[in-house]
Structure 1
Amino acid sequence: MQAQVGDRLVVHGSVVGEHGKEGEIIEVRGSDGRPPYLVRYEDGHEALVFPGPDAIVIPARSGSARQGS
């Protein structure tokens, strides 16, 4: 997975009925755009995230998603 500052990180719910999370990547701490990412979620909190296979990156400048791993 690769991302840039400004991209959106979407983590899908892993249990039926569970809502996913979406946030903006505000810092990329890995090399070459790799995790971990500092993400600001819609509710305002920030977290350091190592995305799993249930996550996708939506580039800031396009509508196409980049799949995890």
Structure 2
Amino acid sequence: VLTQPSVLVVQKKDFTWLGIPITEGGGRERRFSSEDGIDHRTRTRRLAREEAGARWERERDEAAKEAAE
């Protein structure tokens, strides 16, 4: 019987704790909005997707910190 039980849960941002391997150049190649040779519409969509992804990551991290407190 534990008199002072405590649990520490750590989540890595790269999700390796789920057993998902990190791909170094394998799989699909990532494309960014700063890439040359893309039209305005594609650049705008990629930029919006990148910004949304960054926002979701910040919100997820903030929610995890808040839940840990």
Structure with max Cα Rg: 2
Could you say which structure has the higher helix fraction?
A: 2
Larger % of strand: which?
1
Q: TM-score, normalised by structure 2?
A: 0.20
Higher relative contact order (CA 8 A, sep 6+): 1
